Structures are given as structure tokens and as C-alpha cells.
Amino acid sequence: MRCEWKFCTQRDPSSVSSIMTPPTYYFSFLLLLVLEPSAAGGEEAGPAAGDKNVLLIIVDDLRTSLGCYGDDIIKSPNIDQLASRSILFTNAYAQQSVCAPSRVSFLTGRRPDTTRLFDFNSYWRKHAGNYSTLPQYFKEHGYVTMSVGKVFHPGISSNHSDDYPYSWSVRPFHPSSEKYENMKTCKGKDGELHANLVCPVDLSEVPEGTLPDIQSTEEAIRLLKLTKQKKSSFFLAVGYHKPHIPFRFPKEFLKLYPIENISLAPDPDIPRNLPLVAYNPWTDIREREDVQALNISFPYGPIPEHFQRLIRQSYFASVSYLDSLVGQLLNTVENLGLSNHTIIVFASDHGWSLGEHGEWAKYSNFDVATRVPLMFYVPGVTNRGQPQQNIFTYIDPLSPEPERNIPENVKEDPVELVSLFSTIADLAQLPSLPECPVPSFHIEICTEGQSLSPYLITSKDKRGNDEIVAYSSYPRPSDTPQWNSDKPDLKDITIMGYSMRTPDYRFTAWVEYNPITFEANFTDIHAQELYFVETDPNQDNNLFNSSIHSNLLTKLFGNLKSGRSFN
């Protein structure tokens, strides 16, 4: 059966979901709504504490390549519309630029030094401390909590269950078509199917006739309708897979980005004075068949220019595909009359380098890998003074001149994803989280992130100067790029790059690290980097020079040491 893009996305989601949803899952959900009286919050109820639903949208590997972040190539009209109703943070940073550590960090409100998760191979409750999570906190306060798609990183780091049942009221949903992501489903020039990096597809030809993010959107829409029917307060987390590689998206979205209009990264070369420990050799794209065929040398490449353009084009098309799905989800919130009662948070787990510094991955401390889109829509607060109808209309990104919305509430201070837990709890008027003491391994509920609610509730623009810092870190197995530099296992980590971003600088110190005692030795420094972001926004010119910047460095270094949570 031929399946046009617009028909695929507009067909009745329930018909698809009922096929792919195990009956036990559906049944347990209904049972829960019936049995749990605290889950029933009336939408007619006045604005009392805890009466707001939460929709948390988490995107995988999405950098700030969005219209609302000033990117004028990208077509993201629906996310831009959300941004125009929200408070948008232009300098939000992940605590580690790889999926599992970043997600466990912001879902528990602790930094990687406290979750002790720098790779994919441990479950914090067993390995670090029995920390409560953001969804768990809502669950314990009477919300029905639901996970659709990739919210926790699946596998060991969430005990092969997305931390169910602690975090979620019902078993998390994963789209059935996810299993094809890494299979040979991309048609190559030879007419054969390959496991390619660049993978525009015809939906009528892919297995099951659908893609994971389409299925997740359908499931999220189904759950929204169900909770609306049952009038229960919900915390719904929807995790989108794109634009994570492979770039497998409906090919219609390519037409938004003619290849002749695609430029290279502004700084496609490896910076001359980059310490080698800072460089990551982008191993995961090298595994794809189309990249292997290019015979690119390890670790530095480069990738031929025509293929650089193809990667950028596919990433941008994946973002527009994502945007159309987010638009359908938000439009459902609107159509169900939920936009006055639902806090919407949009974030990504970290960024991705599209050729900047000659890199093609996350796995670093640069802004391009750590910086994330972050916006909060709080009904009646962030859209004050705006029309109260048609808050989230669907805007087709494929239409010739999609409507453009400009964000009105923009905050430029550096902020951290680890603040999500306390911020969302505050916005929903749940009891505020206590700040974690150091160490906090034995404490189940506390936060290492500062709540961002002062930015949202008051018109406060700036905090105290010395508070305006976002911390990240990245581990390495060696001073020079190795096959496992991107994703070292805990036992192989010998160096930790502790990094801080202030309004003016990015400063990183790569120090000796012991993966058995979890101790960083700040007297054994392997390399340091200092970038002035005003004159060098892409961080290509490492100006670290201990004699010239000694005072500044002493100050930054002191902040860096005190900013991380030691045990």
C-alpha cells in the first residue's frame, strides 16, 4: 500500500497503536487510572498546587540548529512556535555529551561525578546511590507517569527497564520499528539495501511502513487522549530518536535543503593548538556502510566535502522531520484543551558536531557538543499577554512558506540540564527539592542543579555573577585519539576533562582520573583549554597560556574544583 507522508501522519493513531500495544500494557494503564484515586486531578479544578500536567520532550543528539536559535537554514516552525510561547535558554549545557550519562544526570538531578556513570555500563541505584528520579518524584506526588520512546537510555544504565517501576506508573513504551534502525534498510545507489549513515527512506518501503518517532508520536497522542478521558494528572515524557544517527527519515524532507545550498561547517579543520586529548575521532559514523566505503583515515579523516554536505543535509532534514512530529504532538495538546493545564519542557540530551573542528559526533566538551536547546512553556506565565486560543497550531514544515515565530523571552545566562528536576518540580508546585550536601551518595532525594524557576516566574534576568557557570565533563582513555576515545568504558578512563562555561569563557582542564577510587587528581594536569567566546564562538583558538592568563586561570581553576561534587 502506498503511504504518502501526510496520510501516514494523519491517520487515526489508535488503529496503529492497538496493534503494537501489548494488551497487558493497555490493561495495566486502565487499571491504574481506576485504582489510583490520587491520579485523578480535575481539569476543571482551579489553579491549585499540582494541578498542572507535565509534557517533557527529550530529543536525542539535537544541537541548537533550530529557527528559534537564530539558524536561518533550518525549518523548524513547530518548535519555533513552542519557543515563542516559552522561555528559551540560549546557553543551556549538558553535563556530559553522551546519552546515558547525560540522561541519568538530569533525570536524577545529580552530576556524573555523583551518578558515577560516565559510560553505559552501570545502574546508579546499585553502583552509586539509590537516587530518586524526576518522574518518580511526580509519581510519588500522585501523577500518572509515562515514558514513550527514548527517555532513559535503554539497557544496563536503567536496569533494562527504563527504571520501571520506580519512575513510571506504567511500563515504558518503545516503538516496534526501532529494531530496524541499524539494519540494512537504506537504498544505495546500487539499488541494494545498506546500513548507511545517510538514509532518506520511502515510508511505503520500510519494514512495518513506519519509523520509530512516528510510532512514539502516535502512542503519546493515544496516551494524551486516554488521560484526558480519565481526567488524571499526568507526567508524560516523550523521547525522540532523531536526529541521532543513522539519519533515517522520510525522504520528502530532503527537498527543504537543496544540496547546493548546504555549506560546510564554519571551522571544518582541526584547530592547530587543540590538545589531542580534546579531540574525539567520531568512531560511530565510521561503522556505517556508506562511510566505510569512503576509506577515511583514522583518527583525523577528513571526510570528502561532498559527503560533509550530505551529512549536514540529512541532519537538517531529520530535524524538520522531528519538528513535524513535535507539531502534531503539541497540536493534540491544544485540541484536547490541555494547553492551559500542561507545562511543556523541550530539551535535548546534548549537541553534535557537524564538522566543527573536523569532528562528526558528540563526545567532547566544546559548546557544539554540550550546548542544548532548552525551553519551558508554563501556561499563563510564559505566554502572558498572548492570545489564549490556537496556542499550538500545526505548521507543516514542508509548506512553501511556513509561518515563522520569533522567541520573545530569551535568557542568555549559562544554565545546566541537571537543573531540570528541581525546575520542573517547582513549576508544578511540588515541594522544592533540598540542595544536595557533599557527598550525597546516601541521600535519595536532593538536587545538584539550581532551579531555574526564578527566571520563569519573575522577570529576573541575571543571577549573581559567580553563579553563572555551567559545568560539563568528558572522560578519555588516553592523551591521544584511540579507537575507544569517544566512549571509554569506566575501567579504561585515565583522564577526565572538567569543563566550565561562563558568559565569557569556556575553560577545560584534562586531569588524571582513577576509575577505581573515582578520584580526580588536579595536580596532574594533562592539558588545558581556554576560549573567549565573544571573539571565538566556535572555540577554535585555544588561548591557554599559563604565564599570560595566570590570574584568570587560578580563578577559573578554583571555581572548577569547587563546582564539581567531590566525595
Catalytic residue positions? 99, 153
Instruction: Count residues near ligand NAG (CB under 6 A).
Output: 13
Give CA–CA dist 323/395, Å, rounded.
9
Closer residue to ligand NAG in complex, CB, 53/508: 53
Q: What is the DSSP string of 457-499?
A: HS------GGG--EEEEEEESSSS--TTSSS--GGG--EEEEE
Look up residue 368 and give its DSSP letter: H
Q: Are 468 and 491 in contact (CB under 8 A)?
A: no
Residues of span 159-198 touching ligand NAG by CB under 6 A: 159, 166
- From 10, 18, 261, 567, residue interacting with ligand NAG (rule: CB under 6 A): 261
Looking at beta carbons only, is 317 or 354 nearer to ligand NAG? Answer: 317
Nearer to ligand NAG, 22 or 337 (CB): 337
Q: Please, what is the minimum distance in Å from the beta carbon of residue 123 to ligand NAG?
A: 6
The least CB distance from residue 241 to ligand NAG, in Å, is 24
Q: Which stretch binds ligand NAG (CB under 6 A): 126-134, 174-182, 234-242, 312-320?
A: 126-134
Give whichever of 133 and 364 is closer to ligand NAG, judged by the CB atom.
133
Residue 388 makes contact with ligand NAG by CB under 6 A? yes
Site string for ligand NAG, 212-251 (x = CB under 6 A): ----------------------------------------
52 versus 487: smaller Cβ distance to ligand NAG:
52
What is the DSSP code string of 297-359? PTTT-PPPHHHHHHHHHHHHHHHHHHHHHHHHHHHHHHHTT-TTSEEEEEEES----SSGGG-
CB of 276 vs ligand NAG, minimal distance in Å? 19
Enter the C-alpha cell of residue 128: 552509586
| Beta carbon of residue 117, minimum distance to ligand NAG (angstroms, whole number) | 14
Residue 258 lies near ligand NAG (rule: CB under 6 A) = yes
- The residue within the footprint of ligand NAG, chosen from 8, 50, 125, 127 (CB under 6 A), is 125
Is residue 295 near ligand NAG by the rule CB under 6 A? yes
Shortest separation between residue 297's beta carbon and ligand NAG, angstroms: 4
Return the half-sphere exposure (C-beta side, CA atoms, 13 A cut-off) of residue 203. 21
Residue 173, CB-side half-sphere exposure with 13 Å CA sphere: 35
- Binding status of residue 124 toward ligand NAG by CB under 6 A: no
User: Quick one: which of 15, 24, 297, 458 contacts ligand NAG (CB under 6 A)?
Assistant: 297
What CA–CA distances, in Å, run from 286 to 356, 372, 481? 17, 24, 14
Residue 339 or 502: which CB sits closer to ligand NAG? 339
Determine, following the binding rule CB under 6 A, whether residue 517 of this chain makes contact with ligand NAG. no
Specify the residue, 140 or 435, whose C-beta has the smaller distance to ligand NAG: 140
Between 50 and 537, name the residue whose CB sits nearer to ligand NAG.
50
Q: Which of 10, 18, 38, 130 binds ligand NAG (CB under 6 A)?
A: 130
**CA dist list (Å): 258 to 70, 186, 261, 308, 313:** 20, 20, 5, 14, 8
In terms of DSSP H, where are the helices of 59-211?
77-84, 99-108, 112-115, 124-127, 134-140
Q: Which stretch binds ligand NAG (CB under 6 A): 125-133, 227-235, 411-419, 425-433?
A: 125-133
- The interface region with ligand NAG, picked from 13-21, 123-131, 147-155, 486-494 by CB under 6 A, is 123-131
- Chain positions 418 to 477 lying near ligand NAG, rule: CB under 6 A, are none
**Helix 77-84 with 305-335: angle, nearest 10 deg:** 50
- Determine how β-strand 371-377 pairs with β-strand 198-201: unpaired
- CA pair distance 461, 267, nearest whole angstrom: 32
Site for ligand NAG, rule CB under 6 A: 125-126, 130, 132, 159, 166, 258, 261, 295, 297, 340, 380, 388
